[in-house]
Amino acid sequence: MSRLRLILGDQLNLNHSWFKETNSSVTYVMMEVKDETNYVLHHAQKIIATFAAMRFFANQLRSKDLEVIYLKINDKENRQNFYENIKSIVKKRNFSQLEYQNPDEYRLMTELQKLHSIEDIKAVPVDSEHFLIPKLYAKEFFSEKKHWRMEEFYRHMRKKFSILMEGEKPIGGKWNYDVDNRKRWDGSPSSTQDFRPSHNHEKIFLEINDENIEYFGESQATDFRWPISRDESIELLENFIEKDLLYFGDFQDALHDENWRLFHSFLSFSLNTKMLSPIEVIKKAEDAYKKKDLPLASTEGFIRQILGWREYIRGVYWANMPGYDQHNFFEHKNKLPEWYWTGKTDMRCLSQSISQSLTNAYAHHIQRLMVIGNFSLLAGINPKEVHQWYLGIYIDAYEWVELPNTLGMSQFADGGMLATKPYVSSASYINKMSNYCAKCKYNFKEKVGENACPFNSLYWNFFDRHQDKLSKNPRLGIVNSQLKKMNPTQKEQINKKAEFYLKNLNTL
Site residues, ligand FAD (CB under 6 A):
264-268, 271-272, 305-306, 309-310, 313, 364-365, 368-369, 373, 390, 394, 396-397, 401-402, 405-406, 409-410
Nearest to 381 by CA among 217, 499, 465, 502: 502
Binding partner at 310 among ligand FAD, ligand DLZ, none, C-beta below 5 to 8 Å by kind: ligand FAD
Side-chain half-sphere exposure of 29, counting CA atoms within 13 A? 23
C-beta of 71: minimal distance to ligand DLZ in Å?
9
Q: Which does 442 bind (CB under 5 to 8 A by kind): ligand FAD, ligand DLZ, none?
A: none
With respect to ligand DLZ, which residue has the nearer C-beta, 38 or 334? 38
Per partner kind, with CB cut-offs from 5 to 8 A, the member of ligand FAD, ligand DLZ, none near residue 320 is none
For residues 176 and 307, give the distance between their C-alpha atoms in angstroms, rounded to a whole number. 13
Nearer CB in complex with ligand DLZ: 204/347: 204
Residues 356 and 43: beta-carbon distance below 8 Å: no
If the CB atoms of residues 8 and 370 are measured against ligand DLZ, the closer one turns out to be 8
In the complex, least distance from residue 65 CB atom to ligand DLZ, rounded to whole angstroms = 23
Residue 187 makes CB contacts below 8 A (sequence gap 6+) with 256, 258
According to DSSP, residue 45 is labeled H
Q: Taking a C-beta distance cutoff of 8 angstroms, is the pair 67, 19 a contact?
A: no
* Residue 281, H or E segment: helix 278-292
Q: Which is nearer to ligand FAD, 390 or 429 (CB)?
A: 390
Q: Measured between alpha carbons, how far is 101 from 85 in angstroms, rounded to an integer?
A: 17
Q: Residue 369 binds what, of ligand DLZ, ligand FAD, none (CB under 5 to 8 Å, by partner type)? A: ligand FAD
Q: What is the DSSP string of 375-388?
A: HHHHTTB-HHHHHH
Question: Which partner in ligand FAD, ligand DLZ, none is near 305 (CB below 5 to 8 A by kind)?
Answer: ligand FAD
When the beta carbons of 80 and 434 are compared against ligand DLZ, the nearer one is 80
Our CB check for ligand DLZ shows the closer of 253 and 325 to be 325
> Shortest distance, CB of residue 415 to ligand FAD, whole angstroms?
17
One-letter amino acid of 210: D
Least distance (Å) between residue 344 CB and ligand DLZ: 26
Q: Which of ligand DLZ, ligand FAD, none lies near 10, with the C-beta cut-off 5 to 8 A by kind?
A: ligand DLZ
What, of ligand FAD, ligand DLZ, none, does residue 8 touch, CB below 5 to 8 Å by kind? ligand DLZ
Q: Least separation, in Å, of the C-beta of 351 and ligand FAD?
A: 18
**Shortest Å, Cβ 388 to ligand FAD:** 12
Q: Which residue is nearest to ligand DLZ (CB)?
A: 9
Closest approach of Cβ 211 to ligand FAD, in Å?
25
Instruction: Reply yes or no: is the peptide bond before residue 322 cis, omega within 30 of 0.
Output: yes
What is the CA angle 36-41-47, rounded to 5? 55
Residues in the chain: 508
CA dihedral 461, 404, 170, 133 (to 10 degrees): 170
Q: Which helix (H) or strand (E) holds 271?
A: helix 268-272
From ligand DLZ, ligand FAD, none, interface partner of 272 (C-beta below 5 to 8 A by class): ligand FAD
Q: Minimum distance between the CB of residue 75 and ligand FAD, rounded to whole angstroms?
A: 29
Closer by beta carbon to ligand DLZ, 57 or else 247? 57
Closest contact distance (angstroms) between CB of 226 and ligand FAD is: 11
Write out the residues near ligand DLZ by the rule CB under 6 A: 8-10, 31-33, 36-37, 42, 46-47, 50, 103-105, 108, 398
Partner interacting with residue 53 (select from ligand FAD, ligand DLZ, none; CB below 5-8 Å by kind): none
Rounded Cα–Cα distance for residues 287 and 192 (Å): 22
Specify whether the CB–CB gap between 262 and 251 falls below 8 A. Answer: yes
306 contacts which partner out of ligand DLZ, ligand FAD, none, CB within 5 to 8 A by kind? ligand FAD
394 or 459, CB closer to ligand DLZ?
394
Least Cβ distance, residue 491 to ligand DLZ (angstroms): 46
Query: How far apart are CB 176 and ligand FAD at their closest, in Å?
Result: 14
Name which of 37 and 265 has its Cβ closer to ligand FAD: 265
Q: Which long-range contacts (CB under 8 A, 24 or more apart) does 462-470 make?
A: 462/377, 462/378, 462/380, 462/422, 462/424, 464/491, 464/495, 466/330, 469/329, 469/330, 469/415, 470/421, 470/422
**Separation CA 151–CA 419 (nearest Å):** 11
Q: CA–CA distance from 127 to each of 13, 100, 103, 378, 443 (Å)?
A: 12, 8, 9, 40, 53
Instruction: Produce one character per residue of 442-458: b if its CB has 16 or more CB atoms within 10 Å, e if not.
Output: bebeebbeeebbbbbbb
Q: Closest CB to ligand FAD among 18 and 412?
A: 412
42 binds, among ligand FAD, ligand DLZ, none (CB under 5 to 8 A by kind): ligand DLZ
